[in-house]
Structure 1
Amino acid sequence: MEGSIVRLPEVVALKKKYKAYLYLDEAHSVGAMGPHGKGAVDYFGLNPADIDIMMGTFTKSFGAAGGYIGGTKSLINHLRLNSHSSIYSSTMAPCVVQQIISSMKIMLGKDGTLEGKRRIQQLKWNTRYFRRRLQEMGFIVYGNKDSPVVPLLMFMPSKIASFCRMCLERGVGVVVVGFPATPMTKCRARFCMSASHTKDMIDKVR
């Protein structure tokens, strides 16, 4: 919601110091951040083994459905045997699994091309460019410069519906968020950047 990135190296250091467990949500970062698109761990160049439980979704960067939990073999076996959502849910459809595998191969360059790397670099450029141009225009934008989630503050709840309608009239689809999902005075439009956005598209929004 804030377009922020956790200060993961410091969190990992605290985890080691106090012998705690670390659960990391990579839903908005996997496939979108880091030199290899592997998320916040990749972004900071950390060892994935330092994260006890890693969670993410296949609905965003992978364009599929469902999600994942990563951890030790004993942890995953425990979840399989005791988690109601695992026991009572149906298995993924083969076409969804294939979509995930194909997307992952592209991201990691295992499809024999540099398309995955190109898209990751393009997304990074799009994100920084869009954020910078909004700030130059005087808008207040939350979050980290490399976060593809770009919250633009509107402050007044009465602006939300009008802003959304005016954007749609101009061919721009936005997600607007207000209370109770945000504090009353921190209503916002939430832009989610994509590698498929061209500079012309971004300039049109701006």
Structure 2
Amino acid sequence: MAQRTRADALTRERIVEAAVELLDADGESGLTFRTLTERLSTGPGAIYWHVANKGELLDAATASVIGGALAVEVTGTPQDEIRAIALGLFDAVERHPWLPPQLAVQLSRSPWSSVTPRIFESIGQRVSVLGVPESTWFTATSALVHYVFGAAGQNAANARVLARGVDRADLLDAAANAWEELDPGDHPFLRAIAGQVRGHDDREQFLTGIDLILTGITGAAPCGSTRP
């Protein structure tokens, strides 16, 4: 790759973009200042001018990806907008499987300076206009956020298995066959749903989960109430 010229000056945005590319390719272990300088055809000094260390670079890469996911076009009812935001985050994790661990690191280190408040704000604004009591906003928003990243993280883990050359249809078929062969006395439920495993759509399944949570949030009983 040709050396950059002054007219093609290195920017923080380009550094973060390259960092995301390296993370996507090889995970956190693949992101070093050496690999970054090679990818950008520059010296380490030019990068350190914009980014102090790897931790700052990881934070910036995480913020960039989450910012892009939250910038998704959202129109319609608050429920429609929550679905769009949730699906944007789900797709972001699928494309960037290194994302959930980085979010966890940021949250444990400094919850209020991480990207977590941006996620809560984006979803919480929509929850607040669903007509649920204000005292339940935190619980309702937390349920949605936890589900989004739990389901998205599991989907990303499944994708890593498929990346090793495993065929998705074969994998699901093997799981369904195994469940169908379980003892009917011990596992009646798994045997009953085994056929649903074959060929199911991950994104459709994810959105169904979002709809179930939204139905619970907007139900007659307030979140956190005790049902008889």
- Give the structure-1-normalised TM-score: 0.27
Is the radius of gyration larger for structure 1 or structure 2?
2
Q: Which has the higher strand share?
A: 1
